[in-house]
């Protein structure tokens, strides 16, 4: 990785209903609010990352309601084990969260499932052996 670059740890999403999206990311992934500067913006974190949720202004909502496509292919939440993928997937099924793809093993040895957040964004719950081991993160926390 280029000198000084730590990684892609921040993502910002425009959302149709801020409270509904907050409940989804807090409830399923245990993210915590790190900053709520006003009623239309919220910043969540799982510890090393930052997910910004920005309320779409009411006057712009019709543009998003008619949208059929999604420019963002998916966002990924990295977990520590295949068992965590399965545990979260069971919760997804129990909670009636829309399922895009059931859990499966991939050619690279990773294991994941895909679900939809309240705005229809695809979220991958991912165990990836190289990054799930979190060697770099442990090193960062020790320094």
Question: In terms of CATH architecture, what is 74-134?
Answer: Roll (3.10)
Position 8 pLDDT exceeds 50: yes
What is the CATH code for 6-66? 3.10.180.10
The pLDDT, as a whole number, for residue 67 is: 60
Question: What are the boundaries of each domain within the chain?
Answer: 6-66, 74-134
Do 6-66 and 74-134 agree at the fold level?
Answer: yes
Q: What is the largest CA-CA distance in the chain?
A: 48
Residue 111: enclosing H or E segment and its boundaries?
strand 111-116
What pTM was computed for the model? 0.86
**Could you report the per-residue pLDDT of 52-68, keeping only the tens digit for each?**
999 999 999 888 776 66
CA 65 to chain centre: 21
């Amino acid at each position: 990785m280029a000198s000084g670059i730590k990684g892609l740890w921040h993502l910002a999403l425009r959302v149709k209903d801020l409270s509904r999206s907050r409940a989804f990311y807090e409830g399923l992934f245990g993210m915590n609010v790190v900053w709520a500067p006003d009623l239309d913006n919220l910043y969540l974190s799982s510890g090393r990352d930052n997910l910004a949720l920005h309320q779409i202004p009411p006057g712009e909502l019709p543009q998003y309601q008619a949208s059929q496509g999604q420019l963002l292919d998916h966002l990924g939440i990295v977990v520590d084990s295949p068992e965590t993928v399965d545990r979260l997937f069971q919760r997804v099924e129990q909670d009636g969260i829309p399922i895009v793809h059931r859990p499966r093993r991939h050619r690279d040895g990773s294991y994941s499932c895909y679900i939809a957040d309240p705005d229809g964004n695809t979220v991958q719950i991912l165990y990836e052996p190289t990054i799930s081991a979190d060697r770099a993160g442990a090193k960062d926390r020790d320094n």
